[in-house]
Chains A and B, each alone.
Chain A
Amino acid sequence: MKFTWFHLMPWPHMPDDFREKHRSVWVDLPNRMYEPELGHGVYHQYLDQLEYAESVGFDGIGVNEHHANAYGLMPSPNIMAATLTRRTSKAALVVLGNSIALYNPPLRVAEEMAMLDVLSGGRLVAGFPVGTSMDTNYAYGTIPALTREKYAEAHDLIRKAWAADEPFAFNGRYTKLRYVNCWPKPIQRPAPPVFIPGGGSVETYDFCLDNTYSYSYLSYSGYLRAKLLMEGYWKRVAERGVDESPYRAGFAQVICVADTDAEAERLYGPHINYFYNRCLHVYPGFADAPGYRTIKTIQTGALSQFTAASARNYVTMSWKDLTENRYVIAGSPETVRQQMEELIKTLRVGNIFCLMHVGNMPDDKVRHSTRLFAEKVMPHLRHLWPEWNNHDDRFWIHPMQQPVGLRTAAE
């Protein structure tokens, strides 16, 4: 198993009457709520937490990209990952990812990810999300019905740019470059491992299988509701006749660990509430621009995480509802271990994206939960896929053998 400690980097200072005063945490929330000098501390605390996660033994640390929102403050995940290359040395840097349809030219992603791979000594996991509709269509203005075609072309360009050893011409519909020449190029050849966030469309299953990419389902509604979707993926894997390595798939899970189940509720309850009722408070009109999803996907009844969230009434859900229905895995180390094992086996996933900073959780609680998970839960979950030797080379990083030791400025 590979465990990635994933940060969403939410704005932790949304007021108690946030839901009453604002229709959405995304797109049109006035940025007067953002206080830059408070933000300074917030960013550094969050980066410290990612570095802490490496120090207690997580395999990867993760960041992602969102725009015009208080849910996640990383318009540029690559800037965050760049800071992490200097103060970590072992963990995979899981950038999940860059919304490649938004870059002009998308070669920028190939270049910046190559920089990250070189800086980190070959520790980059490259994520290529389509991006939420709020980010891609409303905040960044991409025409919904053309988003996926643009994405596919951007992907083609990035992979060709990484693979090439000489300049070449790229005549795309959306990007035309007479000289594609990616300096630097990544350490990992022909490319860093690639993870694709997906939400249940068959096209994305096939895209992952065609390219040997890991399919990552990023959900906040837990593994019981994810079962149907992941069964669809594994059914497709079987139909295509490819191997069933569990590392072909990953799942994001909100996890809170305390000494006892009761203690978990007391410590983390308020922050879980903040996350579900403020961070996920998306106006339904922003959740799914018409044309953003393919007709085929709508016909299968798959809704985006945020459409589902806006349709669901989290306000009325108690801690008991959220934990018993496994939206959240929370409790004592033993409780969490049991539920994580069930998650890993029922979904058949080799990657877990652990969401352990939740909403407005203070630093001491984040570290407490993280340490308990690393020390008392993770060791028991490491070896659940012995038939795959608990590792799959195709879906994990290949760091260089002898990276340089970093010196501090004083030296």
Chain B
Amino acid sequence: MTSRFITLEPSGRRIEIVEAGAGRDLLFLHGAGGHMPADPLIAALASQYRVVAPLLPGYGQSAGEDDLRDMLDVTLHTLDVLHALKLEQPVVVGHSMGGMIAAEMAAIARTEVARLCLLAPAGLWMDEHPVVDIFTRLPYELPGLLFHDAEAGQKLLASGGNMDDPEFLKQFLVMNARRLGMAGKLLFPIPDRGLGQRLYRITADTLIVWGAEDVLIPPVYGEAFKKAISGAKLVKVSGAGHAVGQEKPQAVLEAIKAHF
């Protein structure tokens, strides 16, 4: 995995782009947590595709988040990134918040997003199936919310830091505040910015993948996305939680390969 930077005009916003692998172009949009250390999904996808994974401002070394306030800002920003990257007919893959962004892009820009893969996307809300409020959760609760196998997930998430070390804690708080501060503009307090009324506009060939054991955004939302997007296919991956791509990278790769 390598990292490079592009600068968007006219904003001057500097965006970090993680790249890996070779093959057909695949744009990967991360979820609210950003990339995981040595992200297993990016690694698996890179065995078949040229994975291009921009970080949203507020994540990693991407800057300029203050000017991104709402869904439209973020959608257009990400379309600008897609344009600047000059990808060839990419498969656009988005996980969770990244799936919400990818779906918005596909609803707004039909020709630019013709192949769409949504991994447990956010963006819809059903009163009878509330999505977990991630903003109030404490760090130790995250593995259990993201992974079916919480213990294995804990190992994936741990970046070797010691929360009792004040300096590490401060760095963690800064990173967390930047990331989730940005995510909050799309997801807080309820992750619904009207995507539901725009899904009918999606004409992309669409694959939806859901972890069968997702407790954060329950799989019933997969059915709702499938129903709202014409011709969409839904694949459920057993033994996987919300971080379906990181928990079962091979299964997700196979599903994408088989579909596109």
Contacts and interface: CB of A to CB of B under 8 A. Distances in A.
Contact of A144 (B65, B69, B174, B188): B188
A298 interface: yes
A283 B141 CA distance: 14
Given A144-B184, A283-B136, A285-B137, A290 B177 contact: yes
B184 A291 contact: yes
Contacts of B178: 295
Interface string B92-103: 000000000000
Given A144-B184, A145-B181, A293-B177, A299 B170 contact: yes
B163 to A, nearest CB: 12
Interface string B26-62: 0000000000000000000000000000000000000
B126 interface: no
B177 A137 contact: no
A143 interface: yes
A146 interface: yes
A285 B188 contact: no
Nearest to B173: A298
B135 interface: yes
Contacts of A298: 170, 173-174, 177
A301 B136 CA distance: 20
A105 interface: no
A353 interface: no
A299 B181 contact: no
B118 interface: no
A384 B174 CA distance: 41
Contacts of B189: 137-138, 141, 143
A283 to B, nearest CB: 7
Contacts of A137: 135, 188-189
B245 to A, nearest CB: 23
Contacts of B170: 298-299, 301
B contact patch SS: helix
A290 B185 contact: no
Contact of A143 (B136, B177, B185): B185
Interface in A163-184: 173
Interface size class on chain A is 20 to 34
Contacts of B184: 143-145, 289-291
Interface in B122-139: 135-138
B180 interface: yes
B248 interface: no
Interface in A118-145: 137-138, 141, 143-145
Given A284-B138, A291-B180, A291-B181, A143 B188 contact: yes
A129 to B, nearest CB: 20
Contacts of B136: 138, 283, 285-286, 289
A285 B189 CA distance: 14
Contacts of A295: 174, 177-178
B138 A290 contact: no
Interface string A275-316: 000000001111001111101001101000000000000000
B230 interface: no
Contacts of A143: 184-185, 188-189
Nearest to A24: B136
B182 interface: yes
B154 interface: no
Contacts of B69: 146, 173
A285 B185 contact: no
Contacts of B176: 290
A293 B170 CA distance: 13
A143 to B, nearest CB: 5
B179 interface: yes
Most B-side CB within 10 Å, residue of A138, A289, A291: A291
Nearest to B179: A290
B182 to A, nearest CB: 7
B177 A146 contact: no
Most B-side CB within 10 Å, residue of A141, A298, A299: A298
A298 B180 CA distance: 14
Nearest to A291: B181
Contacts of A301: 170
Interface in A13-46: none
Contacts of B183: 290
A293 B177 CA distance: 8
Contacts of B188: 137, 141, 143-144, 289, 291
Interface in B164-208: 170, 173-174, 176-185, 188-189
Nearest to A289: B135
B100 to A, nearest CB: 15
Nearest to A284: B138
Contacts of B180: 290-291
Nearest to A173: B69
B167 to A, nearest CB: 10
A301 B173 CA distance: 10
A164 to B, nearest CB: 28
B70 to A, nearest CB: 9
Most B-side CB within 10 Å, residue of A283, A284, A299: A299
Contact of A299 (B135, B174, B185): B174
A23 to B, nearest CB: 10
B137 A144 contact: no
A376 B181 CA distance: 49
Interface of A: 137-138, 141, 143-146, 173, 283-286, 289-293, 295, 298-299, 301
Given A291-B180, A291-B188, A295-B178, 4 more contacts: A289-B135, A289-B136, A289-B188, A290-B181
Which 7 pairs across A and B sit closest by C-beta, in order of nearness? A291-B181, A290-B180, A285-B136, A145-B181, A141-B189, A290-B177, A291-B184
28 contacts: A137-B188, A138-B189, A141-B189, A143-B184, A143-B185, A143-B189, A144-B181, A145-B181, A145-B182, A146-B69, A283-B136, A284-B138, A285-B136, A285-B138, A286-B136, A289-B136, A290-B135, A290-B176, A290-B180, A290-B183, A290-B184, A291-B177, A291-B182, A291-B188, A292-B181, A295-B177, A299-B170, A301-B170
